[in-house]
Amino acid sequence: MDEHTMRHVRYPDVFALGDAGSTPNSTTGAAVRKRAPVLVENLLAEFDYSGRPTPSIPPHRDAARPCAVRLATVVPMTAHSETPAPFRIRPATLEDVPAVARVAALTFPDACPPTTPQEAKDEHIARNLNQQVIAGWITDGRHAVHVAVRPEGHDDAGTVLGYVMADLAPEEEPDVTAAVGADVRVGCLSKLYLLPEARGTGAAAALLAAGMAAMREHGLAHAWLGTSVANHRANAFYEKVGFRTVGRRRFMVGGNPEEDNVRLAAL
Ligand SMILES: CC(C)(COP(=O)(O)OP(=O)(O)OC[C@H]1O[C@@H](n2cnc3c(N)ncnc32)[C@H](O)[C@@H]1OP(=O)(O)O)[C@@H](O)C(=O)NCCC(=O)NCCS
């Protein structure tokens, strides 16, 4: 790899990090931490501000399918570490339902503005994030649910740390249709929630990548999501991974209207 760009010297559509890159520097976690932003920046340079691929590599100019989110996902490097990986991503099963419902109830309030009344949050959780609803997502074939779990080797192995739910057949969202056209198949990244201890670990990007992959495999071309305009951390995260704001929508939380950014990314 070119040590300055993290790009392969002969195959320009290949980027790498870690040992596989064989760059002339150390293979420590500290080195990877410095190189990861370089790699992500060079990958994101292959996309325009609306998330559309604008590849600089001639053979792929017309048929580019790279996904900024997938490529910009940086999974923690553990190859040279005694420490077990902090999370593992896998599809959710019905056995996960109680744990996902617990995570959903604990974390939904974090996505709301401080002004949302407690009763409105409680009502939303009871109605839309109960075990029956979650079991429906897992079994109905219209949704894809993945969980981040603590892997073996930790005291809390098996604990569900977070979840992502992709809606593969969402209702039409006018700002999204206006941005991509009525004939484009669009999915919705409907839920992405982590327990506080799993935030800032890379688990969000890894869960997001799983949800995006499920939508791509379902033949969808774009993904949209809504997040409260007051949810600064989530907005920073989605901006970082390539979701661009294309509009606003009103979102009801237990009868209480909230304002969401509508964000869109190519798959
Ligand atoms: C949204 C969520 C999944 C993102 O996962 P995460 O692990 O926190 O994301 P990351 O740490 O990778 O990225 C968050 C970014 O926001 C930044 N950030 C943190 N707090 C912030 C704040 N108050 N204002 C602005 N940016 C903030 C972080 O520095 C980070 O950016 P950086 O990587 O450039 O430093 C997670 O925070 C979460 O579960 N939040 C509660 C539930 C929620 O809001 N879900 C989204 C509903 S749509």
**How far apart (Å, rounded) are the C-alpha atoms in residues 147 and 92?**
6
Residue 143 CA to ligand 1 center (angstroms) comes to: 24
Centre of ligand 1 to C-alpha 10, Å, is: 36
Question: From atom 19 of ligand 1, which residue's Cα is the shortest distance away?
Answer: 233
**Residue 247 pLDDT > 60:** yes
At residue 64, the pLDDT reads 41
Q: What is the pLDDT at residue 74?
A: 44
Q: Which letter does DSSP use for residue 77 in this model? A: P
Question: In the structure, what pLDDT confidence band is assigned to residue 66 with cuts at 50, 70 and 90?
Answer: very low
Sheet holding 186-194, edge to edge: 88-91, 143-149, 160-167, 186-194, 222-228, 256-266, 244-253
Sign for the CA dihedral angle at 173, 177, 178, 182 comes to: negative
Least confident window among 7-16, 33-42, 208-217: 33-42
Tell me where in the chain the CATH 3.40.630.30 domain(s) lie.
Answer: 83-266
Task: Flag whether the pTM goes above 0.85.
Answer: no
Q: Is the CB of 237 under 6 A from ligand 1?
A: yes
Residue range 47-67: mean pLDDT, rounded: 50
177 closest CA partner among 69, 75, 264: 264
| Rounded CA separation 94/193 (Å) | 18
The pLDDT assigned to 45 comes to 64
pLDDT at 69: 44
3 state DSSP class of 189 = strand
For the purposes of burial, counting CB atoms within 10 Å of the CB of 128, is it exposed (0-12), middle (13-18) or buried (19 or more)?
Answer: middle
Domain 83-266 superfamily per CATH? Gcn5-related N-acetyltransferase (GNAT) (3.40.630.30)
Q: Between residues 6 and 219, which one has the greater pLDDT?
A: 219
The per-residue pLDDT of the chain, averaged, comes to 85
Whose CA is closest to 40, among 74, 79, 14?
74
Ligand 1 pocket check for 186: Cβ under 6 Å: no
Q: Mean of the pLDDT values across residues 134-146?
A: 98
- How far, in Å, is the centroid of ligand 1 from the Cα of 194? 10
Instruction: Return the residue whose CA atom lies nearest to atom 13 of ligand 1.
Output: 237
- Cα(100)–Cα(90) distance, integer angstroms: 13
pLDDT at 1: 77
On the CB side of 221, CA atoms within 13 Å amount to: 12
